[in-house]
Amino acid sequence: MASVENERPVRSLRIGVVGVGGMGAFHARTLAGLGGVDVVAVADPHEPNAVATAEAVGAEAFTDPLALASSEELDGVVIASPDATHPELAIAALERGTFVLCEKPLATTVGDARRVVDAELALGRRLVQVGFMRQYDPAHVQVAAALPSIGRIDYLRAVHRNAGADPRPLERVVCQSMVHDIHSVRFLTGEEFAAVTAFASGPFPSGGYRHVLAVCTLTSGAHASLEFDDTAFAYEVSVEVVGADGDLLTGGPVRATRRHGGSLDVHLGTDWFGWFAEAYRIQDAAWIASIRENRTSGPSVWDGYVAQMVVDAVIRSSTSGRTEPVELPEHPGLYA
Ligand code: ISE
């Protein structure tokens, strides 16, 4: 039996977080709460954000995101800066050989997403995980595990409601929000999108869009409908898979039911931090575990790129009124 003296202490991983608005600050705190992780640096051009998160997790505060993403001192970097900056920062980290957890979307255009794929292909190894955290959400994991029991998948319905969001143009609604539902379809069915017909209500006087409905055909001929509402009254996500021998529906997070003022109610919350807190924690812990094993697991940049192609088809169809095909390029072996 190995003596205690011979056991090598596990080295703490040095993690940086780029972009510490709401999401990045949440990752920083989540990671700082995991064993064997030191959040050593955070960067945000808005200095008060950087300082506040740095103080909360005992990190150093910086204001230059690109300098932090390019640092040689880190084992891993979380990218949670504004969406359009993700590709440049991910590529900078890739060039240093640093593991990356990049918030979704991978990019805001198909071309930029492809640049990250090409950078990884040039490197010949995966280093970037994309933060499609529903893949770690216990409710989604339970549905995924039970799929073999319902036989051939005929239909999937994804419902996603945001509450109290600032009015957003259609591009942002689809790219920031519906992109999650697109990934849910791909990871649950293992299929690709073949064509999309989408409808959007808006713009309203606020400039924002409210409902987006995408009716999709998958490569097997099965269908999926994605329903998104940006100004609902509570945050809520569900997915239902209809199979030849049964159907499956995700449950929400466990919540107490309250009797109050003559009503029976369940508090759902108005943002995703509460609904998916466990999913984020599991995702971040899985990312750290994979860094320790010197590998990358979870959703890949290929997943981020393909999702972006579907985002594009949803936006095109909502504006053209036509069914838009999704034509995927050859699938590189690195992402088999
Ligand atoms: C937000 O940016 C997220 O990432 C949430 O997970 C998503 O549910 C929400 O719709 C987005 O706005």
Per-residue tens of pLDDT for the chain, all 336 residues? 444 555 666 899 999 999 999 999 999 999 999 999 999 999 999 999 999 999 999 999 999 999 999 999 999 999 999 999 999 999 999 999 999 999 999 999 999 999 999 999 999 999 999 999 999 999 999 999 999 999 999 999 999 999 977 899 999 999 999 999 999 999 999 999 999 999 999 999 988 999 999 999 999 999 999 999 998 999 999 999 999 999 999 998 989 999 999 999 999 999 999 999 999 999 999 999 999 999 999 999 999 999 999 999 999 999 999 999 999 999 999 999
pLDDT for the residue numbered 10: 80
Distance from C-alpha of 133 to C-alpha of 257, rounded to nearest angstrom: 26
Residue from 81, 175, 180, 239 whose mutation best tests the ligand 1 pocket (most atoms within 8 A of CB): 180
pTM over 0.85: yes
Q: Is 235 in the pocket of ligand 1 (CB under 6 A)?
A: no
Q: What separation in Å is there between the alpha carbon of 271 and the centre of ligand 1?
A: 8
Ligand 1 pocket check for 283: Cβ under 6 Å: no
Q: CA 15 to CA 105: how far, in whole Å?
A: 21
Name the E strands within 141-235.
153-163, 193-200, 211-218, 223-232
Residue with tokens 């030191």: 38
Q: Ligand 1 atom 9: the closest Cα is on which residue?
A: 177
What contacts 190, CB < 8 A, 6 or more positions away? none
What torsion do the CA atoms of 266, 269, 275, 277 make, to the nearest 10 degrees?
-120
**Which are the contacts of 150, defined by CB distance < 8 A and separation ≥ 6?**
241, 242, 243, 244, 245, 246, 247, 248
The minimum-distance atom of ligand 1 relative to the CA of 177 is 10
What is the rounded distance in angstroms from the CA atom of residue 129 to the CA atom of residue 80?
A: 13
Among protein residues, the one with the nearest Cα to ligand 1's atom 5 is 272
Rounded to whole angstroms, the Cα distance separating 290 from 236 reads: 30
* CA 166 to ligand 1 centroid distance, Å: 12
CB contact at 8 A, 129 and 302: no
Say which residue the tokens 């390019």 belong to: 70
Nearest CA to ligand 1 atom 11: 177
Q: What is the pLDDT of residue 9?
A: 66
Report the separation in Å between the CA atom of 11 and the middle of ligand 1, taken as the mean of its atom positions: 34
Quote the pLDDT of residue 5. Answer: 56
- What ranges in the chain are assigned the alpha helix state H? 22-32, 47-57, 65-69, 86-95, 110-123, 138-146, 170-172, 179-189, 272-275, 277-292, 301-320
CA–CA gap between residue 297 and residue 185 (Å, rounded): 19
Query: β-strand 236-243 against 223-232: which pairing, if any?
Result: unpaired
Q: How far is the CA of 149 from the centre of ligand 1 (A)?
A: 30
